[in-house]
């Protein structure tokens, strides 16, 4: 295992300390229990958004704490759900009187712990469950579809709505709409190595790829030989389009996400291929996002997310955001 690491037991806290120092103008990092919050207090009467999950997916979720997105994020150990006391502490810290909305990826541990945290918290709260992965219906640690990269889009769009004064009920309804209108498919070329394990999560040949992989290295639809980018992207989009069934000329947001170990040059090449394929199907791309936003440590590979957009979604996507990992319009 080759990683920047001092001690496995201190890995997460040391990383969080570095994150806090690097972005001290935007966020604060709290310990015992661990959570990340906005440096400036959430304004009174604003719905507070909290997300979280296992570490190793950075910049999701801590990198999205700030104006126009999250109010707090709860990082668990690598690929492990955060604990209920983290959610409770984060909620108590950021609730400004309008309630707390938890954004939770569909993994059994995340759902169980967020539900417990919500029950422990005495204030008004609700939750959104993301489940955008079209690869498989049931997988390791899930019942139903996995919550993956579209969680980033939910956090941005609902974050804007909350920033602009929407109620808890309105934020939840918008988040559910974004999730319902999103589809994601991922492909892995290599495994990743969890520091505590010290060895790759799964074995894969030098000429193989896992089609439909999960963000923790869970198995996908099939293992096959690596193919040209245009073929891989076409197969990914075919699975997404079969699920979403967008209308001709329907406006969409195209999100090409890196898994942590794929160069941007390759991600932009994949984006180019996706644009050509969608154009041939008369599907309009009106917004884009390319980069490493929902990662899996150093895994080589990528996911593609397509979001069907209406004016409400587009307005909230375009609105200003200022976080460690995403910022525009400020």
* Tens-digit pLDDT string for the chain (330 aa): 899 999 999 999 999 999 999 999 999 999 999 999 999 999 999 999 999 999 999 999 999 999 999 999 999 999 999 999 999 999 999 999 999 999 999 999 999 999 999 999 999 999 999 999 999 887 767 778 999 999 999 999 999 999 999 999 999 999 999 999 999 999 999 999 999 999 999 999 999 999 999 999 998 899 999 999 999 999 999 999 999 999 989 999 999 999 999 999 999 999 999 999 999 999 999 999 999 999 999 999 999 999 999 999 999 999 999 999 999 997
Q: Which residue spans of the chain are classified as CATH 3.40.50.10440?
A: 12-180+319-323
Quick one: CATH architecture of 12-180+319-323? 3-Layer(aba) Sandwich (3.40)
Q: Which CATH number fits domain 182-310: 3.30.750.24, 2.60.40.1840, 3.40.50.150, 3.30.1180.20?
A: 3.30.1180.20
Tell me, yes or no, if the pTM score tops 0.85: yes
Is 133 in contact with 107 (CB distance < 8 Å)? no
Q: Is 222 buried (19+), middle (13-18) or exposed (0-12) by CB count in 10 A? A: exposed
Q: Which residue spans of the chain are classified as CATH 3.30.1180.20?
A: 182-310
Active site residues: 57, 216
């Amino acid at each position: 295992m080759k990683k920047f690491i001092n001690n496995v037991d201190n890995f997460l806290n040391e990383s969080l300390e570095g994150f806090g120092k690097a972005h001290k103008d935007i966020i604060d990092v709290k310990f015992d229990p661990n959570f990340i919050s906005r440096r400036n207090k959430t304004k009174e009467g604003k719905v507070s958004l909290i997300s979280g999950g296992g570490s190793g997916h950075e910049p999701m979720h801590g990198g999205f704490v700030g104006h126009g997105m999250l109010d707090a994020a709860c990082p668990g150990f690598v690929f492990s759900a955060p604990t209920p006391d983290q959610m409770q502490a984060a909620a108590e810290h950021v609730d400004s009187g309008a309630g707390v909305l938890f954004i939770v990826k569909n993994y059994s541990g995340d759902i169980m712990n967020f539900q417990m945290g919500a029950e422990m918290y005495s204030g008004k709260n609700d939750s959104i469950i993301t489940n955008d992965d079209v690869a498989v219906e049931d997988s390791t640690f899930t019942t139903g579809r996995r919550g993956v990269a579209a969680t980033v889009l939910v956090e941005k769009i609902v974050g804007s709505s909350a920033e602009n004064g929407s109620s808890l009920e309105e934020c939840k309804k918008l988040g559910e709409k974004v999730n319902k209108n999103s589809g994601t498919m991922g492909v892995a070329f290599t495994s990743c190595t969890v520091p505590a394990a010290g060895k790759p999560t799964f074995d894969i040949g030098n000429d193989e790829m896992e089609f439909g992989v999960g963000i923790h290295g869970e198995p996908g639809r099939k293992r096959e030989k690596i193919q040209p980018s245009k073929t891989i992207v076409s197969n990914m989009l075919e699975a997404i389009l079969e699920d979403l069934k967008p209308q001709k000329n329907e406006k969409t947001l195209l999100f090409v996400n890196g898994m942590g170990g794929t160069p941007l040059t390759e991600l932009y090449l994949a984006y180019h291929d996706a644009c050509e394929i969608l154009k041939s199907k008369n599907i309009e791309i009106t917004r884009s996002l390319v980069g490493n936003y929902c990662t899996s440590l150093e895994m080589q590979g990528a996911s593609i997310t397509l979001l069907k957009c209406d004016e409400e979604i587009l307005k909230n996507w375009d609105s200003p955001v200022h976080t460690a990992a995403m910022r525009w319009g400020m």
